[in-house]
Structure formats: C-alpha cells, structure tokens
Amino acid sequence: MRIAEMLTRSKPTISFEFMAPRNESEVDVLEQTVSTLAGHAPDWVSVTYRVRTGDKTLELVTRIKRQYHIEAMAHLTCANSADRTRQILNWMEREGVANVLALRGDDPAAGQRFVPADPQLAHASDLITLVKRSGYRFGVGAACSAEKHPESPTLDHEMRYMRLKVECGADFLITQLFMDNAFYFDLVRRARDEGITVPIVPGLMPIASRRSLGVMTAMSGASVPAALQAAIDEAPDDEAIRALGVRHCIAQCAELLEAGVPGLHFYTFNRARAPIEILEALRGQQLLAS
C-alpha cells in the first residue's frame, strides 16, 4: 500500500526508520530491534541505504514485509548510475515493494562533498523524475528540513528545492529531525503558502547521548532549545541525558498529535527502548490508540 494513502487517514501513522547494518556485528542488534518494534504495530517503516551494503537494505525491506506484514519503504540515493538504479527499482517492483524514499545521499565524510555516481542523478528531484517517468508505480517520499540545512544558503532556497521535489512527483515529505515544534509548524505554513499540499510527516529523534546529539545536530542543522540544552549540560551522565531526551520527545509528540499531524516518524538508530517509552506514554495520555 502506498504510504501517501495512509497519511490521508484520520488516524496519524506511526513509523520507524531502521539503519541497514554496516557489517555482520550489527545484524543481531537490528534483528532484535525490528522484532521488538514490530510488536508495537507501526503503520510503516523505512530502511536506510548504504553504498557498501545496498543489498542489505533491499533484503531487509522485503523481509520486514513478508515476516511482519508491515509496509516497508526502501531509501534510494544518488549513489548509483541511472541503469543500476533502474535495476534496483525493477528488483523492488518484482518483490512487491510499494514505496521508495528518494534522497540525494549524505557526504561521504567530514570535509568532503557529495559526488553523484551519475550526472543524470545529482539531486533527489532527479531520482523522483526517473521513478515517475519510467512508468514505475511506487509511492515516492522525499526529505525536507524544518530548519535550514547546513548546505542551504537560505530557507527560501530550501523551499524552492522542496517545491521542485513535489513538482517532480513526490507524494509526501518527511522532515529531518527537529527539537522545537515551532520550526515544523512554520515549515508547514510556508509550504502551504507555496501551494505544496502533500502530507509533511515530522521526523523525531529521541536524544540518546551527548555525543549522538552533537553528531546529528551537526549533520542536520537542527538546533537545541535553550532550556533543553541547559538541562543536558547539567546532566551527570548519558543515562540522564537519554531520560531527558525521552521526556522532551514525548512533549513534542503530544503537541504535534494535538495539532493533527499526519503521522510521527522516529529515527531509531536501531534501538527500541526510547520509541517504546514514548509510545507507551502517548497511549497513557490517550493521544494514541492502545
């Protein structure tokens, strides 16, 4: 089923992002996380794409669909040639995958710029165009930022690319992580003013540690609210920081649900504990069905 159709229902969707394992040592952790979170009945999940382990993404997506009967979406990046990308899409279509998330891809390392494998596929909008014009029937999602991404000179510049992705055929958008809901609400308002009507799903990341927070805010450009940062600075250890992050994310989700968002998308980093705590709290507040 297309995710865009789920996002138009009256009930908000719950979804998780899983990271494809980099090596065999990460497989067991991922398997346990998928199994545990599948028990909390997500409406859909997504699986990241790594250049070195692209096949693992495809295997995991199809296995989640078959074993857990959950709609699974594969990330698709500009890491391959147009011909190889079509081969991947053909394989996914044969395996019954219904949705892809079109992304440019991250820079390979700090200080290095992203170089597309094929000049025809330099941006996410190019991937979306390829999918739509090649006759595939996938539902297509794309990413956007609630705050200014580090690579974007201005918010207006970022909005132009967001509109281009939708004009090329993106059916829905998922935000990068943010920790202040005001940025998400402002993004939606600006998007609607620009005539962008597709669902915009908020992406949420419960803080796991001081180090992970630093890495993810540097990559995404997300800012930390002053009160939350002050509490983190005073926290004695990472477990205290993790608990702060869970409480903050619960408060974020409650406000978003009360505002009528189409869904909540959690960046899990292949850990189940925090998402479970957040969902249980929201169900306890009767903001989500049990």
Q: Could you count the other beta carbons within 10 Å of the beta carbon of residue 135? A: 7
Q: Which residues of the chain have pLDDT under 50?
A: 110-111
Residues 6+ apart with CB under 8 A from 220: 145, 147, 149, 150, 176, 177
* Contact yes or no for 61/94 (Cβ under 8 A): no
* Contact yes or no for 12/286 (Cβ under 8 A): no
Tally of domains in the chain: 1
Tell me the percentage of the chain whose pLDDT exceeds 90. 73
Residue 110: the pLDDT is 47
DSSP 104-171: ----SSTT-----SSTT-SSHHHHHHHHHHTT---EEEEEE-SS--TT-S-HHHHHHHHHHHHHHT--
Residue 75 lies in a domain: yes
* Contact yes or no for 72/64 (Cβ under 8 A): yes
Q: Which of 85, 26, 36 is nearest to 56 (CA)?
A: 26
What Å distances lie between residue 94 and 44, 88, 98, 133, CA to CA?
A: 19, 10, 10, 18
Residue 154 lies in a domain: yes
Residue 17 lies in a domain: yes
Residues 6+ apart with CB under 8 A from 31: none
Report the SS3 class of residue 50: coil
Residue 219 lies in a domain: yes
Residue 288 lies in a domain: no
Reply yes or no on whether 277 is catalytic.
Answer: no
Catalytic residue among 17, 71, 147, 158: 17
Residue 51: the pLDDT is 61
Residue 5 lies in a domain: no
Q: What is the CATH classification number for the domain harbouring 46?
A: 3.20.20.220
Domain of 170?
11-282
Residue 289 lies in a domain: no
Residue 153 lies in a domain: yes
